[in-house]
Amino acid sequence: MTIVISCASNAILSFLVFWLVFDEDIKQHEINGHEIYLAPAYLAAIVVGMVGLVYAPKLNTSTAAKTEPSAGTLSVPPASTASRTPDLAREMLMPVANDSHAIQATGAPERKGGLGVQLLGMLAGLGSGVFGAVQYGCVNAGKRYERHKAGCADDPDSCPAALREQFDNFGSWMVSFGLGAALVTLSFLTLLSAGRRVLAGKPPPQLHLKVMRVPGSTAGLCWALANFCGTAANARGGSAITMAQMSAIQLVTSGLWGLFYYGEIRGRAMYVWALCAVWTIGRHRPARAREGRMSFCTRSKFWLRGLVEC
């Protein structure tokens, strides 16, 4: 649910702000002599697909609960047994994936899923989506503002070389962003440490360098690469459309990990999930005005590049 709120709010906010406020070009379709925008309908369809992607894996749980009335009270093998027979354990744990006993069996930290926590999760998802939209929006908004200030808004090629360099995704922009990321994170860490010390008398949070060394670096590198590609896609395709594509493909990628790696999605849920994935990706019809003039070959390259970038 958190993921869908994050992705949907990100996609919708980016689309509305950059279409209505920043006046990005959106393709108009002529139906019965009327010029209409189909992009909002595609966006709604993408959001429906996103909801389906998130809820499809839960089909197995509900099916199991129906066929197995005692699913909620299944006895879960101890952690040692579970690790010896992972497949059996997975089979047994699947129907009660959200059961607190199942979580305890793995020894992983448990968190209560009360209304407050759920609400907090939704707020976090919303915050993630809104801030994510602003992050990529800064690229285009900044570029427009600086071009306007330099008097080259209508003819970007005539902008000063320094201005073009500032927003070059394969050059200075990445360095400025990296410096900004380091500065902002350090500020947040300082604030958090001071807050913990002053308000709760606690020490600063531990770095867990030994534990986080490999997974933290892998995640960081994955993100850095994704951010690089995302910024490039955003600069090329505009925030209004690209953000929805990125959010949807992010959801599909997460789902593929769940499908092939975690084995979370199986049986009927797997087919429903695949259908939702095809639906979500399939809604990415050309929506920007300039795509209407592309040849089939160029358009194919555009979408292929978008897929690789996301």
Partner 1 sequence: MGSYPVPIKTRAVLEADVHPLIFQSFKSFWVFVTGFLALIPVYASHRSFEFTWWGVASAASWVPSGFCTICGVTYIGRKSQRASNPARADSDFPPLTLLRRVSEQCR
Output the furthest CA–CA distance in the chain (Å, rounded).
Answer: 71
Cα distances (angstroms) measured from residue 90 to each of 41, 67, 102, 136: 40, 18, 10, 39
Q: How far is the CB of 218 from partner 1 (least distance, A)?
A: 4
Long-range contacts from 149-152, C-beta under 8 angstroms, 24+ separation: none
Nearer to partner 1, 72 or 220 (CB): 220
Enumerate the H helices of the chain as residue ranges.
2-16, 39-55, 58-67, 79-84, 86-93, 100-106, 115-150, 161-166, 172-195, 209-237, 239-260, 267-282, 296-309
CB 19 within 8 A of CB 26: yes
| Tokens describing residue 134 | 């602003």
DSSP 1: -
Q: Which amino acid is at 134?
A: V
Nearer to partner 1, 79 or 152 (CB): 79
Of 26 and 46, which CB lies nearer to partner 1 in the complex structure? 46
Of 57 and 272, CB closest to partner 1: 57
Least separation in angstroms between residue 167's CB and partner 1 is: 7
Q: Which is nearer to partner 1, 39 or 82 (CB)?
A: 82
Nearest approach in angstroms of CB 271 to partner 1 is 19
Please answer whether residues 1 and 50 qualify as being in contact, where contact means their C-beta atoms are separated by less than 8 angstroms.
no
Instruction: Tell me which DSSP letter residue 59 carries.
Output: H
Residue 120 or 304: the one with the smaller Cβ distance to partner 1 is: 120
Of 43 and 265, the one with the shorter C-beta distance to partner 1 is 265
Contact, 130 vs 224, CB < 8 A?
no
* Orientation angle between helical segments 2-16 and 39-55, nearest 10 degrees: 170
The neighbour count for residue 293, using CB atoms within 10 Å, is: 8
In angstroms, give the least distance from the CB of 34 to partner 1: 37
**Minimum CB distance to partner 1, residue 242 (Å):** 12
